[in-house]
C-alpha cells in the first residue's frame, strides 16, 4: 500500500529562518528512513535550494516562502516555493559566502538529489523541486 | 621582592611548613587565574585543586636569587596546568559530555553497521545500536558532532592563502585524546555549525571523507579551481574566527 505523508512549512524570507527548513527536512528525511549521510546531505541541499528560490537573482530576499515535503514508500519530494514579493534586504552573515557561489550550490544540489527542477511561477516567484529516492 | 625572606628561608631548608606558608599567601592567584575557566562545565573545586597543585610546584621551583617576582613566575605555570587539565579531558567543556561520547562513537558505529548491513545505516539503526534516541542522533547530524574526528591528511594548495591553511592545520591537529585546546575546539565547532550548505558539503568531502579537490570537482562537474576557491573560503572563515 502506498503511504504518503505531507509536511508543510511556511517561513519568513529572512535568511535566519532557512535553518528552520533545514531542521524540518533533516527530521523528515530521518523519519523516511534515509541513511545518516543522506539525511545530512538532504539538509545541505535544502539549505542551498532555499537560497536559490528566495535570494539568488533578486535584489532582496523574498518576504515569505513555503516548503512542502512529501514522503512516499520509495523516497521523498521537496518543493520550495516563493512568492514574487521580494522585500527583505540583503545584509547578513549567509551572504558573506554567497556572491558568485550560485553555480557551485546548484551543482551540489544536483549531485545530492536524484532530480532537481527549477521553474518560474505565475506570480513572479520561483519553485524548486528536489527528489530523492531511498535506495532500500 | 615580596616575601623574599620567606623564599630564601625555604630555598635553604626546603621544609614543608615554610613552603605551605608561602603557598597560602599566594593562593589568591589561583582564584584569579581560574576565573576565566569557570562556568564551562568544569567544577570549581577541580579547577582550584589543579591550580593549587601547580602553585605548590611553582613555589618549590622558584629561585628567589634570580630577582623576579614570584607572581610573574608562577602565573604561566598555573595557567599551563589549568589549560592542560582541559586538554586532558579531551573535549570542549561546553559540549555536553553526552554529545562528546556520541560524537566519538558514531563514526565507528556507522562503519560497523555499514559492513554488517551491506549498506549505510539509518538514523534509527544507529540510534538503536548506540542505545540512544533518534532525536539525539538527529541532533548530532544537525550540529557538527556527527563528523567526529577530522582528517588531518589533507594537503593544502601551495598557492592558497598560506596563513589560513596553516592556522587551520595547527588548530585541527589533535593528540591522541582529541582537539589540542578546548578553546580552539569551541571555535571550530562554532564555525562548523554555521556551515550548513555549500561550505558544509565541501568541508565534509575534504576533511571527513578525505576526498581530493579533483575528485570532488569531477563528481560535481565543476572545475577544480572552483573547489579550490571554496576550500580557501572555508579556511579563511576558520582563520577569521581563530584570529578572534
How do residues B155-193 score in pLDDT, each as one tens digit? 444 434 455 555 555 555 544 444 444 455 566 667 777
Helix (H, G, I), strand (E, B) or coil at A135: coil
Contacts of A136 in chain B (CB under 8 A): 119
Q: Do B196 and A19 touch (CB under 8 A)?
A: yes
Interface of A with B (CB under 8 A): 18-19, 22-23, 26-27, 30, 33-41, 43-44, 47-48, 51, 93, 97, 101, 103-105, 107-108, 110-112, 135-136
Task: Give per-residue pLDDT as tens, B196-234.
Answer: 888 899 988 988 788 899 999 999 999 999 899 888 888
Q: Do B196 and A38 touch (CB under 8 A)?
A: no
Helix (H, G, I), strand (E, B) or coil at A55: coil
Burial B50-60 (b: 16+ CB within 10 A, else e): bbbebbbebbe
Task: Give per-residue pLDDT as tens, A49-102.
Answer: 998 887 766 667 778 899 999 999 999 999 999 876 766 666 655 555 554 555
Cβ atoms A21, A66 nearer than 8 A: no
In order of start, what are the domains of chain A with their CATH numbers? 5-133 (3.30.565.10)
Predicted-complex ipTM score = 0.87
List, in order, residues 6 or more apart from B235 with CB less than 8 Å away: B156, B160, B161, B164, B165, B167, B168
Helix (H, G, I), strand (E, B) or coil at A75: strand
Q: Which residue of A has its CA nearest to B202?
A: A108
Which pTM value belongs to this model?
0.69
Contacts of B119 in chain A (CB under 8 A): 35, 135-136
**Cell numbers at residue A92, please?**
547578513
Which residue stretches of chain B are H helix?
A: 4-13, 16-34, 44-61, 70-89, 97-117, 123-130, 134-142, 162-172, 182-194, 198-203, 213-220, 224-243
Amino acid at each position: 500500500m502506498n503511504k504518503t505523508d505531507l509536511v508543510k512549512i511556511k517561513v519568513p524570507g529572512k535568511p535566519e529562518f532557512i535553518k528552520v527548513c533545514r531542521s524540518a527536512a533533516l527530521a523528515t528525511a530521518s523519519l523516511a528512513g534515509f541513511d545518516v549521510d543522506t539525511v545530512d546531505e538532504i539538509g545541505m541541499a535544502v539549505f542551498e535550494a532555499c537560497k536559490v528560490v528566495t535570494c539568488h537573482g533578486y535584489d532582496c530576499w523574498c518576504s515569505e516562502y513555503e516548503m512542502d515535503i512529501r514522503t512516499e514508500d520509495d523516497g521523498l519530494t521537496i518543493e520550495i516555493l516563493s512568492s514574487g514579493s521580494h522585500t527583505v534586504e540583503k545584509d547578513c552573515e549567509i551572504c558573506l559566502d554567497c556572491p558568485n557561489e550560485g553555480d557551485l550550490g546548484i551543482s551540489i544540489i544536483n549531485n545530492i538529489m536524484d532530480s532537481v527542477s527549477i521553474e518560474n511561477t505565475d506570480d513572479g516567484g520561483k519553485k524548486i523541486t528536489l527528489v530523492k529516492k531511498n535506495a532500500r | 621582592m615580596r616575601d623574599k625572606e620567606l623564599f630564601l628561608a625555604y630555598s635553604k631548608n626546603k621544609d614543608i611548613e615554610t613552603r605551605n606558608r608561602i603557598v597560602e599567601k599566594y593562593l589568591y592567584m589561583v582564584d584569579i587565574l581560574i576565573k576565566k575557566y569557570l562556568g564551562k562545565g568544569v567544577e570549581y573545586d577541580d579547577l582550584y585543586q589543579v591550580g593549587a597543585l601547580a602553585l605548590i610546584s611553582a613555589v618549590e621551583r622558584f629561585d628567589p636569587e634570580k630577582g623576579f617576582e614570584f607572581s610573574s613566575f608562577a602565573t604561566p605555570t598555573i595557567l599551563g596546568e589549568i589549560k592542560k587539565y582541559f586538554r586532558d579531558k579531551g573535549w570542549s567543556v561546553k559540549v555536553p559530555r553526552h554529545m562528546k561520547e556520541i560524537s566519538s562513537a558514531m563514526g565507528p558505529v556507522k562503519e560497523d553497521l555499514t559492513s554488517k548491513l551491506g549498506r549505510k545505516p539509518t538514523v534509527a539503526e544507529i540510534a538503536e545500536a548506540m542505545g540512544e534516541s533518534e532525536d539525539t542522533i538527529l541532533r548530532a547530524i544537525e550540529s557538527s558532532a556527527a563528523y567526529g574526528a577530522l582528517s588531518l591528511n589533507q594537503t593544502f594548495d601551495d598557492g592558497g592563502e598560506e596563513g589560513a591553511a596553516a592556522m587551520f592545520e595547527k588548530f585541527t591537529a589533535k593528540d591522541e585524546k582529541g582537539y589540542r585546546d578546548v578553546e580552539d575546539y569551541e571555535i571550530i565547532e562554532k564555525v562548523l555549525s554555521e556551515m550548513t550548505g555549500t561550505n558544509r558539503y565541501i568541508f565534509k568531502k575534504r576533511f571527513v571523507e578525505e576526498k581530493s579537490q579533483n575528485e570532488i570537482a569531477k563528481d560535481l562537474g565543476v572545475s577544480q579551481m572552483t573547489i579550490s576557491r571554496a576550500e580557501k573560503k572555508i579556511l579563511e572563515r576558520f582563520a577569521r574566527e581563530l584570529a578572534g
